[in-house]
């Protein structure tokens, strides 16, 4: 399952790419409209995530051009919140779904999966992540450590989810911030530390390892 992201905000593009890669998709990223059109025209992608505001060629035009050329790849539009761009116009040009910035990572993944499922191709990956004696069920939003269930709050769960999605890898605080909170969050970044702290207490000290200056990592086998 291969996705194309056309997004000129580098940080956002990178975040999305990382997250979706962790979900098990192959991800290509380009930063301007014209190149997006070229890559999408290759026909190798199963879904295109397309920002509206793009240098070169805006999202509507890319979308319209693709449809005009007969490509029916599912397109998920990303629109800015300010209402200058209209969701209806996006759908008119042939997009299959749209998402208004800022959006949360969870919502994005859900939409991507829904679109792929709609194409009858099955939406990638089990929703249950097992990692040592830690089991995280994203559909039921439940967490088990060994035999016992651990009660987590919504935010706690989301933070843990980010780590579980990329077991063994270092996940930076800013990535967690962007994925769990809105991409536009501007509060105290220390909030991530607070949640990691309570997760350690509720789960097990040592399960979440701090990598100084880089982020956190879910510890692999003991």
Q: Which residues bind its own copies (CB under 8 A)?
A: 2, 10-11, 14, 17-18, 21, 26-27, 29, 31, 87-88, 91-92, 96-97, 114, 117-120, 139-141, 153-155, 166, 168-170, 211-214, 217
Helices 191-202 and 173-180: crossing angle in degrees, nearest 10, is 90
- Binding test (CB under 7 A) with DNA, winner from 88, 212, 221, 222: 212
- Based on CB atoms, which residue is closest to DNA, 102 or 125? 102
Q: Which span sits near DNA by CB under 7 A: 13-21, 23-31, 70-78, 211-219? A: 211-219
What element of type H or E holds 8?
none
Q: Output the CA angle 177-4-174, nearest 5 degrees.
A: 10
H helices present in 47-172, as ranges: 59-68, 87-92, 105-118, 154-165
Smallest gap from Cβ 140 to its own copies, in A, equals 5
Buried b (16+ CB within 10 A) or exposed e, 1-35: bebbbbbbbeebbebbbbbbebbebebbbbbebbe
46 near DNA, rule: CB under 7 A: no
DSSP letter string, 180-215 = HS-TT--S-TTHHHHHHHHHHHHS-TTSEEEETTTE
Partner from its own copies, DNA, none contacting 196, C-beta within 5 to 8 A by type:
DNA
- Based on CB atoms, which residue is closest to its own copies, 98 or 134? 98
Judged by CB under 7 A, the chain residues 135 through 174 that form the site for DNA are 151, 153-156, 173
Smallest gap from Cβ 221 to its own copies, in A, equals 14
Smallest gap from Cβ 168 to its own copies, in A, equals 5
Buried b (16+ CB within 10 A) or exposed e, 160-177: bbbbbbbbeeebbbebbb
Q: Which span sits near DNA by CB under 7 A: 59-67, 113-121, 124-132, 190-198? A: 190-198
131 near DNA, rule: CB under 7 A: no
Lookup: tokens for 1: 């399952």
List contacts with DNA (CB under 7 A).
151, 153-156, 173, 181, 187-188, 190-191, 193-197, 200-201, 210-215
């Amino acid at each position: 399952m291969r996705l194309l992201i056309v997004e000129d905000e580098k940080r956002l593009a990178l975040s999305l790419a990382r997250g979706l890669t962790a979900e098990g998709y192959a991800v290509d990223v380009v930063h301007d409209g014209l190149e997006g059109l070229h890559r999408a025209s290759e026909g190798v992608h199963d879904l295109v995530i397309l920002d509206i505001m793009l240098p070169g060629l805006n999202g509507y035009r890319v979308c319209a051009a693709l449809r005009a050329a007969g490509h029916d790849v599912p397109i998920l539009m990303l629109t800015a919140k300010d209402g200058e761009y209209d969701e209806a116009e996006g759908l008119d040009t042939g997009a299959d779904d749209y998402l208004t910035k800022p959006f949360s990572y969870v919502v994005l993944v859900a939409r991507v999966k829904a679109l792929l499922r709609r194409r009858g191709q099955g939406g990638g990956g089990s929703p249950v992540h097992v990692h040592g004696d830690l089991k995280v069920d994203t559909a039921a939003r439940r967490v088990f450590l060994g035999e016992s269930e651990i009660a987590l709050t919504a935010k706690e769960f989301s933070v843990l989810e980010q780590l579980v999605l990329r077991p063994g890898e270092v996940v930076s605080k800013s990535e967690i911030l962007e994925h769990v909170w809105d991409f536009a969050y501007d509060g105290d970044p220390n909030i991530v530390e607070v949640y990691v702290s309570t997760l350690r207490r509720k789960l097990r000290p040592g399960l979440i390892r701090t990598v100084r200056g880089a982020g956190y990592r879910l510890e692999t086998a003991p």
